[in-house]
Amino acid sequence: MFRALAGALILHEKIRTTDTKAKELRRVVERLITRARRLGEVAEADPKDLSAEDLARRLHARRVVARFLPRFGEKTNAEGDSEEVDLLEKLFTDLGPRFRDRDGGYTRIVKVGPRRVR
């Protein structure tokens, strides 16, 4: 369940779930983002420009994250078309650099109120 929630959170950068699940999911996702953030410039660099040591660091970080995170997620755009997004790529090239200057607290839980009664 947390693998799917973590994948959805990285794909959409926002999800709606219960408070308890969100608090547990925060622990998981923050560790994944920290792993991506610590790579720094190595995550975005062209593999031809990296040393063997940097390539190994990047590969190891991707494999550690891939053990928990699903590789691909499917996102539907406004027209109804769906596109497949590489979640590892998004984590390492988009979210990691975005939070490079932050030491933690990458996620925020916003309470939306009680559930709607049908």
Tell me whether residue 10 is in a domain: yes
Domain that holds residue 9: 2-98
Tell me whether residue 21 is in a domain: yes
Please, how many CA atoms are within 13 Å of residue 56, restricted to the half-sphere of its CB? 3
Tell me whether residue 118 is in a domain: no
Q: Taking the mean position of all CA atoms in its chain, how far away is CA 108?
A: 14
Calculate the average pLDDT of the chain. 89
pLDDT attached to residue 32: 93
Q: Which of the 8 DSSP states describes residue 4?
A: H
Cα 68 to Cα 66: distance, rounded to the nearest angstrom: 5
Which pTM does this prediction carry?
A: 0.85
pLDDT in tens, 70-87: 999 898 888 888 889 999
**Number of other residues whose CB lies within 10 A of the CB of residue 65:** 20
pLDDT attached to residue 60: 93
Nearest residue to 94 (alpha-carbon basis) of 1, 2, 5, 12? 12
Q: Give yes or no for residue 104 having a pLDDT over 90.
A: no
Q: How many domains does the chain have?
A: 1
Tell me whether residue 111 is in a domain: no
Tell me whether residue 9 is in a domain: yes
